[in-house]
């Protein structure tokens, strides 16, 4: 008999697989009006309309990793530092945002699944993988632009 933890992990894997399939299907037809981004769900390159930005904020990003890896996030998911996720104080869970490091113009698309950061004057906490994608591991923080691409529930 499987434990609740094993069942929960299997359900999360099933949901992630579904998201990967949906994301892959939506990225099939390239268009010059669109720009490339890394998908928050699976890390693959997908196309998004640059005009689809719903809100823009600038501030300081930090990242969280090892100490929190494997622990529950505020929305009940298990935190995986290798996934493209982030914590924000107020954005609804499931909100998808593009985070751009203003010093090197590298960007990554992440999904909000946690609350934070809990340090004053920080806008967003990124997973280690997301932080690595925008070149901020060495510095630990970066001035960023956060663009909301879709609102969560």
CATH code: domain of residue 27:
2.40.40.10
What pLDDT, in 10s, does the model give residues 41-86?
A: 555 444 455 558 999 999 999 999 899 999 999 999 999 999 999 9
Q: What's residue 64's pLDDT?
A: 95
Q: Range of 106's domain?
A: 1-153
Q: What's residue 149's pLDDT?
A: 98
Number of structural domains (the chain) is 1
Contacts of 73 (CB under 8 A, 6+ apart): 79, 85, 87, 113, 114
- Is the model's pTM score more than 0.85? no
What pLDDT, in 10s, does the model give residues 118-134?
A: 999 999 999 999 999 99
Return d(Cα 26, Cα 43) in angstroms, integer. 14
Return d(Cα 117, Cα 28) in angstroms, integer. 35
**Hey, what's the torsion of the CAs at 83, 135, 88, 43, to 10 degrees?**
-30
Cis preceding linkage at 117, omega within 30: yes
């Amino acid at each position: 008999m499987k434990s609740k933890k094993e069942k929960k992990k299997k359900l999360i894997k099933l949901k992630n697989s579904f998201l990967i399939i949906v994301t892959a299907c939506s990225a099939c037809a390239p268009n010059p009006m669109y720009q490339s981004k890394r998908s928050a769900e699976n890390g693959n390159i997908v196309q998004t309309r640059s005009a689809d930005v719903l809100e823009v904020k600038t501030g300081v990003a930090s990242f969280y990793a090892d100490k929190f890896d494997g622990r529950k996030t505020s929305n009940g998911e298990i935190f995986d530092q290798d996934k493209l996720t982030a914590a924000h104080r107020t954005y609804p869970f499931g909100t998808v945002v593009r985070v751009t490091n203003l010093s090197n113009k590298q960007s990554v698309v992440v999904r909000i699944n946690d609350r934070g950061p809990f340090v004053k004057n920080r806008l967003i906490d990124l997973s280690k993988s997301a932080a690595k994608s925008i070149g901020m591991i060495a510095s630990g923080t970066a001035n960023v632009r956060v663009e909301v691409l879709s609102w969560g529930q």
